[in-house]
A and B are shown apart, each in its own frame.
Chain A
Amino acid sequence: MTSQGPILQISDVSLVFGGVRALSDVSFSVQPGELFSIIGPNGAGKTSMLNCVSGRYTPTSGTVSFKGQDVTGLKPNDRAELGIGRTFQNLALFGHMNVLDNIMVGRHHLLKNNVFNGPLYWFGGAQKEELEHRRFCEDVIDFLEISHIRKATAGTLSYGLRKRVELARAVALRPDLILLDEPMAGMNLEEKEDMARFIIDLNEEWGMTVVMIEHDMGVVMDISNRVMVLDFGRKIAEGLPDEVMANKHVKKAYLGEEDDDTDDDEQVA
């Protein structure tokens, strides 16, 4: 797999909002099959980085390549068709749709029925096609253990469940690269464990390359193949989880804020 070259290649990406430099010359690459984490303090530019990959933002300079193709100028929906899926930090479900329909939207680019034969339902083959894709969505629903809420209106669900439905929707797209923005934020320990298990399965069983932003260091160190650290829009470290943990800059910029002081001092000393 690795012989194909990186699935995602970020080269010198900068992103400027008015006076704010959200990203400064960030470069990194992700190999097919990797589980790659991005960490860093709040406001470091992690979400902005994902937005550059998914197409929400276009970098001020630099390029984004996916499977060897330059996608910097492509719109989000075109990137979805190429095989990039994502979830959002602040939930972004279709609130008035039920869970199943939310997930079926993930099949949009794979479905062929349209405004002409969709209305003819029974005659134009639309029903058959919808039911086939429904079957796939049910597999995703079973996998993420949300079958009990499949007919619930998405907007009425608890936070933890909504996060899970968002993941289901992104998985239904059958992306080769899935971007997860703080998939475990606001969850309790049990929910986090479930989510970590799902992410590992997606990576190992479903063969998806994962790029994940996460604050829970324990989870990040446990499940990531490689970790990149952003601080004030700059990449300050990248490597194996252990290497990154041991990095002085990282401790100072990021972990130092969260670990309690004595512990930190001992490690540095």
Chain B
Amino acid sequence: MAGFSMRPCGDFRTTYRQDTRIFDTTVVRNAAVLGVIAVALIPFVLDGYYVNLFIQISYFAIAALGLNILVGFTGQISLGHAAFFGFGAFASAWINNTTGIPVLLSIPLAGLMTAAVGLLFGLPAARIKGLYLAIATLAAQFILEDFFARAEWFTGGSYGAAANPINVFGYEIYDDFSFFYVCLFFLVVMYLLGTNLMRTRDGRAFVAVRDHYLSAEIMGINLTKYRLMSFAVSSFYAGVGGAMYGHYLGFVSAEGFTILLSIQFLGMIIIGGLGSVKGTLMGTVFMVLLPEVMESGVSALSVFDWASSTDVTDGLAYIKEMAIGLAIILFLIFEPDGLAHRWQQIRAYWKLYPFSY
């Protein structure tokens, strides 16, 4: 009975408050808290390579959650998410450089600015859907890329823009070690906010618009308002993720925010699971680790003579690039509900073990 939530026997709820918790049992909640604590220990036990990977995962995961709210939860589409990610990166650097507002504040402010821009480019969604909307967002991607190249006052044009390091109580965060904790903080906060949104009025309205827009309207939901709001929220997340990215690198240039990155964001949420908050995180981890794992696979093979010939190593480099596309295709065919769904099934299996069949 896939439709029923899986709980251990004897776990009864006596109040509605218990029944609306984010984590459905105390065990799961404790596991999540332990998970965060375990992640917080990474910089102490693992080397800088893993710290860097985690930092990448966090800013991408935040941006990807935004895209999942738009695509997975509201049922719209965007091929321009990378451009909003980029806009957030430039906006935060610009706010901080021109006004001196501390970076920790300029990051959420950049999110709000990006939300406004996302709202603007989302306006076509008030009228069009599906393929037509996809093309409209593709236009957003190219218009913004062009804007990055031209608006020197904002982006530094072809030189790019310098982004200051984060400053916490007068202490500048230059190294990955400290930045890691800033990322962990933002990741946890943004995912909690997203989870809460989805269990309150406006989050339900998004899903209602996705599942059956005509009856959503009959239930009192203003379709135009929620379609646009979804673009704004989505871009807010993209902006915050992009801003973190910018301040991490210390420098923002327009090249990184192409359609390829937009497709990668789509890959993250498809692989993780459309319409799943935790799936978004899983999908991002997958997409960030995939090239790394392939890289180490390539270097492991190079101990063989045949594998160290340039033909093979060049070929493998291409395969690495294609792997992303291949992963998306394979997931669409074999696991269309994504990693989150698979995870749910594994959990259900172990709960019923050994009586499952």
Shortest B180–chain A CB gap in Å is 24
Q: Establish whether residues A126 and B196, one from each chain, have CB atoms under 8 Å apart when the complex forms.
A: yes
Residues of A within 8 A of B12 (CB): none
Which residues of A pack against B, CB within 8 Å? 54-56, 75-77, 80-81, 85-86, 88, 92-98, 101, 104-109, 111, 113-115, 118-121, 126-127, 130-131, 134-135, 138, 151-153, 155-157, 169, 173
B interface SS class: helix
Q: Establish whether residues B201 and A114, one from each chain, have CB atoms under 8 Å apart when the complex forms.
A: yes
Which residues of B pack against A, CB within 8 Å? 1-5, 16-17, 20, 192-194, 196-197, 199-205, 207-208, 210-212, 214-223, 229, 233, 275
Residues of A within 8 A of B222 (CB): 75, 77
Shortest A111–chain B CB gap in Å is 4
Q: Establish whether residues B217 and A121, one from each chain, have CB atoms under 8 Å apart when the complex forms.
A: no
Shortest A26–chain B CB gap in Å is 21
Q: Establish whether residues A131 and B202, one from each chain, have CB atoms under 8 Å apart when the complex forms.
A: no
Residues of B within 8 A of A120 (CB): 193, 196
Q: How far is the CA of A173 from the CA of B216 in the complex (A)?
A: 12
Residues of B within 8 A of A94 (CB): 207-208, 211-212, 215-216
Residues of A within 8 A of B199 (CB): 121, 130
Shortest A266–chain B CB gap in Å is 44
A156-B3 contact, Cβ under 8 Å, with A120-B193, A134-B20: yes
Residues of B within 8 A of A76 (CB): 217-218
Shortest A232–chain B CB gap in Å is 26
A interface SS class: loop
Closest A residue, CB atoms, query B15: A131
A106-B219 contact, Cβ under 8 Å, with A115-B229, A118-B201: yes
Q: How far is the CA of A63 from the CA of B199 in the complex (A)?
A: 39
Shortest B124–chain A CB gap in Å is 20
Q: Establish whether residues A121 and B200, one from each chain, have CB atoms under 8 Å apart when the complex forms.
A: yes
Residues of A within 8 A of B207 (CB): 94, 96-97, 101
Residues of A within 8 A of B219 (CB): 77, 80, 105-106, 108, 169, 173
Shortest B1–chain A CB gap in Å is 8
Q: Establish whether residues A126 and B214, one from each chain, have CB atoms under 8 Å apart when the complex forms.
A: no
Q: How far is the CA of A98 from the CA of B204 in the complex (A)?
A: 11
Q: Establish whether residues B212 and A93, one from each chain, have CB atoms under 8 Å apart when the complex forms.
A: yes
**Most-contacted residue by chain B among A75, A94, A115, A131 (CB, 10 A):** A115
Q: Establish whether residues A101 and B2, one from each chain, have CB atoms under 8 Å apart when the complex forms.
A: no
A97-B204 contact, Cβ under 8 Å, with A115-B233, A173-B219: yes
Q: How far is the CA of A126 from the CA of B204 in the complex (A)?
A: 13
Q: How far is the CA of A169 from the CA of B196 in the complex (A)?
A: 22
Q: Establish whether residues A97 and B211, one from each chain, have CB atoms under 8 Å apart when the complex forms.
A: yes
Q: How far is the CA of A111 from the CA of B207 in the complex (A)?
A: 16
Shortest B59–chain A CB gap in Å is 19
Closest B residue, CB atoms, query A131: B16
Shortest B195–chain A CB gap in Å is 8
Residues of B within 8 A of A138 (CB): 16
In the A-B complex, the 7 residue pairs with the closest CB atoms: A118-B200, A80-B220, A153-B3, A109-B220, A94-B211, A119-B193, A121-B196
Q: Establish whether residues A108 and B211, one from each chain, have CB atoms under 8 Å apart when the complex forms.
A: no
Q: Establish whether residues B20 and A130, one from each chain, have CB atoms under 8 Å apart when the complex forms.
A: yes
Q: Establish whether residues B214 and A92, one from each chain, have CB atoms under 8 Å apart when the complex forms.
A: yes
Q: How far is the CA of A111 from the CA of B203 in the complex (A)?
A: 12
* 26 A-B contact pairs sorted by A residue (CB < 8 Å): A55-B218, A77-B217, A77-B221, A77-B222, A80-B219, A92-B218, A93-B212, A93-B215, A94-B211, A94-B215, A96-B275, A101-B204, A105-B216, A105-B221, A108-B208, A113-B202, A114-B201, A114-B202, A115-B202, A118-B196, A118-B202, A119-B196, A126-B196, A127-B17, A135-B16, A138-B16
Residues of A within 8 A of B210 (CB): 96
Q: How far is the CA of A155 from the CA of B211 in the complex (A)?
A: 10
Shortest B15–chain A CB gap in Å is 9
Q: Establish whether residues A86 and B20, one from each chain, have CB atoms under 8 Å apart when the complex forms.
A: no
Shortest B54–chain A CB gap in Å is 24
Shortest A169–chain B CB gap in Å is 7
Q: Establish whether residues B217 and A119, one from each chain, have CB atoms under 8 Å apart when the complex forms.
A: no
- From A80, A106, A151, A155, B4 is in contact (CB under 8 Å) with A151
Q: Establish whether residues B212 and A75, one from each chain, have CB atoms under 8 Å apart when the complex forms.
A: no
Residues of B within 8 A of A96 (CB): 207, 210-211, 275
Residues of A within 8 A of B203 (CB): 118
Shortest B94–chain A CB gap in Å is 24
Closest B residue, CB atoms, query A133: B201
Q: How far is the CA of A56 from the CA of B216 in the complex (A)?
A: 12
Q: Establish whether residues A105 and B16, one from each chain, have CB atoms under 8 Å apart when the complex forms.
A: no
Residues of A within 8 A of B208 (CB): 94, 97, 105, 108
Residues of A within 8 A of B192 (CB): 119
Q: Establish whether residues B215 and A119, one from each chain, have CB atoms under 8 Å apart when the complex forms.
A: no
Q: Establish whether residues A119 and B197, one from each chain, have CB atoms under 8 Å apart when the complex forms.
A: yes
Q: How far is the CA of A69 from the CA of B196 in the complex (A)?
A: 38
Shortest A171–chain B CB gap in Å is 12
Q: How far is the CA of A169 from the CA of B219 in the complex (A)?
A: 8
Q: How far is the CA of A13 from the CA of B341 in the complex (A)?
A: 49
Residues of A within 8 A of B205 (CB): 105, 108
